[in-house]
Structure 1
Amino acid sequence: MGVRHSLIDLGPLRSSPRFRRLWIGRAFSGFGGQMTLVAVMFQVWQQTSSTVWTGLVGLAQAVPLIVFGLFVGSLIDRSDRRRFYLITTTGQAACSLLLAAQGFSGHVPAPGVLLLLAVQSCFVAGGGPVSRTFIPRLLPKNQLAAGLALNRISGQAALLLGPALGGLMLGWLGVGGCYLADAISFGLAFYGAFGLPPMPPDGESSRPGLRGVADGLAFLGRNATVRGALLTDLAVTVLSMSTSLFPLINAERFGNDPRTLGLFLTAIGSGGVIASLFSGTFTRLPRPGLVMLCGSATWGVAMALFGVSPNPWVGLAFLALAGAADTVAVVSRSTVVQLHTPNALLGRVFAAEQIVGQAGPDIGNLRGGLIAGATSGAAALVSGGLLSVAAVLLIGATTPAFRRTAPVTGGDTADDRTPVASQPAPTT
């Protein structure tokens, strides 16, 4: 009974056929997305032999998410979200088909490939946030954390296995085959989307243009609970996300062994998968805000300890701990945001969360590189880890509404309940 209580809760997949179809569709399209990323990197490298151009692959994905995120979030909150999701999924699938066509023809230069990737990312800027608005409508609120944990483990499985599948597909059918497999995977995404009911936003629709964006930012400013969750995530990623330092750490401490370097990210992913499999240990806890603070602080401590690890296997153990802590923090953050955001604002808040998740690690890697250039890789990791712990403690101490997030009780769904966030927002 105790072990079963600790394992990932499959209740959402059993109790909600609509959530189950949506989850299956997004899981398979996630694998396809990772295969496309591998194919783009490979194709651009083959065409240019330039690390500058391969670095632009990440920029082509990130810029549309950051630039258009809040505006798309406002549009989500004025639209039928099911229809909006179908539009963005169709756009992504069309871009994958165009990538496949150019991949088989081999006549499109690197700038054209990156342009197609950026256009696809414009659709992702809307598809990511809108898909997350479905969960409170499909699941009772006492299953939200379990549903988010299931989404997390499917995403991590795609991150771990998708690149390997992409490599196999590259060797078999070339870049065109990878892109085509991604396009085909959207068939299951449509399977999940067509099973959804119409989902107009509850309450007052978002105002158009900058006014709707300003309303979303005003909500984040006055709601201490949601603000605390996003600030915690931003602080931790900016201060202690330093995966770009892994090659330097491997050279400084572990003899520049490429086999060790290859295991660093795998260790983080493996720790995350293990935490997801045993997510019942934290998704059933009553205070997700406090759980997020603990997970975030553990990440910082683990990264600092990795920075001073004398042995590669000890270092890998700390990275696995960091990966597990990251999963705890991410699932808990999403639970807090889902429970404390009014339905009419979900698109804008989820868009802001997506921007934080995209920009924070990029800034963190830049910060780590600058510190390492002035000192060393170990100093950058240790200082970043300790600073992130201090930031987490400060946010927790100054945001009691976030720290004391109310327990999740009851089994009513978001369609027939009064949302937690419709109550007066706590402030500090």
Structure 2
Amino acid sequence: MDTTHVILGASLAGAKAAEALRAEGHQGPIVLIGEEPDRPYERPPLSKGYLLGKTEREKIFVHPAGWYAEHGVDLRLGTAATALDLAARTVTLADGERVGFGKLLLATGASPRRIPVPGGDAEHVLYLRRVGDSERLKAAFRPGARVVVVGAGWIGLETAAAARAAGCEVTVLEVAELPLLRVLGREVAQVFADLHRAHGVELRFGVQVAAIRTDGVQLGDGTVVPADAVVVGVGIAPNTALAADAGLTVDNGVRTDAHLRTSHPDVFAAGDVANADHPVLGRPIRVEHWANALNQPAVAARSMLGQDAVYDRVPYFFTDQYDLGMEYTGYVEPGGYDRVVFRGDVAGREFVAFWLDAERRVLAGMNVNVWDVTDPIRALVSSGRPVDPDRLADPAVPLNELP
């Protein structure tokens, strides 16, 4: 059998998979193929430190430039994969070359959803996914510039915060009643609405974008919101075309088991593109956050090498906006909780929020400007045991003494 392990996607997930394969003792060839011209980098700085000008460009990369050659990783940058032949065990590249593999990891990530309105492809309409996108945003965020952000999700709010830090006039447009409503629910979403209003952002909820014009964004009622730059953050879609065309099972991403193995025994998936069975949550889940791209590849690598590895880490993500730092641990379906319990000072934005189900089990916890509590929150989520909401809300009760 061919001992070549091919990784499609020179991303954080792809780079960490190559690293893990070598760390686990794989001696055969490793080919890491990426469409972007830059070597693998981390994406969170693109909407945080790098966009704000606080993080140097070299700091965003996963490994130093020489790491790949030193570890025998054949890094192919600026190279698109156009076809996957599972029977022949080959990947076809844009130049016609075919690369054979014994095992294959799909780390193809996701792409921003485009806004389907007239003018949506205009030059001043900006998206954020790649390092070049972050640099274009940084150039557009200049003092006095009028920036309209379409979508009040994590990317929309983080870019709005960066634009305000640069001295821009910022308006956020959102179809829902509050930012992050599907993710956080009304109780906690209000915290982020208050945060951005306190920093001078104009929030317009319940609005539809009808068109993007040279002078601004036209809403469904005909109103035009003036804009020099328009940032669109309306979600991402997993890059599943290669997998689907090859006949792999695709359902909101590439479906995998808990070992990150796809419907083909020698093909695996990790990161944004993987919709993986989760033993703790008891369901398949696709997570579009840094922690999955960082941690899943080690499990995928061990599985590729025939080890009995399972990915059961509870989902985690974080954000930094203005003076608010937040970590979120766990997973809640939109509307899939019974109540929210707060511990600490919500008005002062120094608290922990917990989402509970009807059986008083902790589904997720979010610590805002409160640190060193992710481990006990993770333990509460993973335990699946009911807790006393009154004790949960009491800052005097250590989290590691619950339930």
Which TM-score tier does this pair reach, normalised by the shorter chain?
A: under 0.3
Which has the higher relative contact order, 1 or 2, with Cα contacts under 8 A spaced 6 or more apart? Answer: 1
TM-score (norm 1): 0.23
TM-score (norm 2): 0.24
Of Structure 1 and Structure 2, which has the larger fraction of its residues in helix?
1
